[in-house]
Structure 1
Amino acid sequence: MALISGTARGRGRAAALRFAAEGALVVGGDLLHEEAVETQRLIAQKGGTALTPGPLDVTDEDSVRTWVSEAADAFGGIDIVYADAGAVRFGAIDRRPYEDFAFTRAELDSVWLTAHVAWPHLVRSRGCVLTVGSTAGLTRQLAAKGAPHGIRANCISPGMIDTKGTRDDLLAEEHPMRGHAEHIPLGRVGTPDDVVDAALFLVSDEASYITGTNLVVDGGWSTVLPGTLADKEFRT
């Protein structure tokens, strides 16, 4: 059974649909509950099995505990935790308020709380944790902690991915980083499916000897960061 947060839209919805198509029993969740339920309906229409117990706030311990408990009760355990929920705010440090910086704590809470609450179930199933980070940071603590129990923990770090969130922010006409998409070596902005393809591999048996890895899915953007000498050499 795959426990996936952030299933209302974007990468989370794409992950839920693909995992279900591959035969996983999916339990999704999102603060945008109606949209997460729509994801569940889409899975059912394609013959898959999914459950969306109720609105999920991945920064609230009670909400996460209820979600994990209902998932385990419904399907008898948890094999995969895919912590995909989260949101970020970008901007220059001299113009963004502290509230925007503090807001990004949700990115950490969403991973820590879900892994913390689901951990006993993962120990029993010798399961797998998959987080979604970014090219801005790496962590391997879950991999070290889980290895004695047979739990693998890996991270996917997407670059610029075409979702409603990025279209409203990073890819918006007025956003100063919008032009950075032109520097992506593979010549395009990523899609949610690009991220999910990597996720499916990392949670599969084919990746059974991979843990503590950060897989960057960014079309090569981080190898030629815009404005650097490497980028100039690439473009010439």
Structure 2
Amino acid sequence: MTLAETPFSDLARGQQRLAGRVAVVTGAGAGIGRGIARMFAAQGATVHALDIDAAGIGALAEETGGAVRAWPIDLLDEAAVQQAITTIGSEAGRIDALVPAAAMAVFNWIDTMTYAQWQHTLRGELDIVFLCTHAAWPWLKASGRAAIVNFASANAHVALNGSPALAHCAGKGGVMAMTRQLAMEGAPHGIRANTISPGLILTQQTARHMASDPGFEAFALEKMMIKRIGQPEDIAWTATFLCSDEAGYITGADFRVDAGSTAW
């Protein structure tokens, strides 16, 4: 049973590893962000889900019985992000976990990529992380034990043969470098910052891509040591660990959750 199929009440597996935490998760309307928001709520956190997909996060809030609060906003609108996160921080007095899972990218080869597509991808993978982190920083400092989990990618480590991911590689490599800097700047304030580098995870977007390219899944599986496509729960469990006290000595690190595809 996948995370998406698992009843919300069963996700915690008897655990409350994030009990009492205040978490902000972006991109929670679908895919990895949604999986993390569900998992965090089941693990006892109060989760604030930020996404432009009002219907998606509204359904998530309803499913979780109010453990997830929906904030439908454009995550590239600086004023809207600042207002939402300031309201969250002011009401709770702190933010304990920040997971900027939202991202937007254009995949194209260098000879056909336009400058507008390049800029769109860097805004959708770098600016989108900066804006929410900048807004949340005072409230993360107020926590005294806060965790940031950002998303790099297998593409931040290796060039995947056949993948037209030039701008995506640049964006995710930038996220990894940014996160190391955040770890340094946050350490005196009790803020830890780490990245997860997912491999191929089954989401609505990747499902559409596999449906349009019948040979893609078999090609991807050849590169994996564990012969299955990843599920959002594979990422959600890793994020739960990184935001818990169990990871209290971990910062500035990257976790490759990719079935060993970058370890060859």
TM-score (norm: length of structure 2)? 0.78
Cα distance, 1:173 vs. partner? Answer: 2.9
Query: 1:86-112 CA deviation, whole Å, 9 max, x = no partner?
Result: 122223222333332222111101111
Q: Matched residues in 2 for 1:96 and 1:163: separation?
A: 25
- What does 1:182-221 correspond to in 2, within 5 Å? 182-183=221-222, 184-221=224-261
Aligned with residue 61 of structure 2, among 40, 46, 50: 40
Q: Which amino acid aligns with 2:212?
A: E
Q: Matched residues in 1 for 2:116 and 2:25: separation?
A: 27
Aligned with residue 121 of structure 1, among 139, 142, 145: 139
Query: 1:143-176 CA deviation, whole Å, 9 max, x = no partner?
Result: 011011111001111111110111223x243388
Is contact 1:80-1:203 (8 Å) kept? yes
Q: Which amino acid aligns with 1:108?
A: L
Q: Which amino acid aligns with 1:152?
A: R
- What does 1:64-75 correspond to in 2, within 5 Å? 64-75=81-92
Is contact 1:43-1:49 (8 Å) kept? yes
SS at match of 1:180: helix
State the partner residue of 1:173: 212
Alignment pair present for 1:26 and 2:47? yes
Cα distance, 1:77 vs. partner? Answer: 2.0
State the partner residue of 1:51: 69
Structure 1 gap ranges (5+): 225-236
Query: 1:110-169 CA deviation, whole Å, 9 max, x = no partner?
Result: 111111111011111121111111121232110011011111001111111110111223
Q: Matched residues in 2 for 1:152 and 1:175: separation?
A: 41
Alignment pair present for 1:222 and 2:257? no
Structure 2 gap ranges (5+): 1-21, 157-172
- Shift in CA distance, 97/168, structure 1 to aligned 2, threshold 3 Å: farther
Alignment pair present for 1:80 and 2:104? no
Is contact 2:28-2:51 (8 Å) kept? yes
State the partner residue of 1:100: 117
Q: Matched residues in 2 for 1:172 and 1:221: separation?
A: 21
Is contact 1:130-1:155 (8 Å) kept? yes
Is contact 1:158-1:218 (8 Å) kept? yes
Q: Matched residues in 2 for 1:114 and 1:50: separation?
A: 18
SS at match of 2:262: helix
Of 96-105 and 195-204, deviating more is 96-105
Is contact 2:93-2:139 (8 Å) kept? no
State the partner residue of 1:2: 23
Identity of aligned residues (%): 37
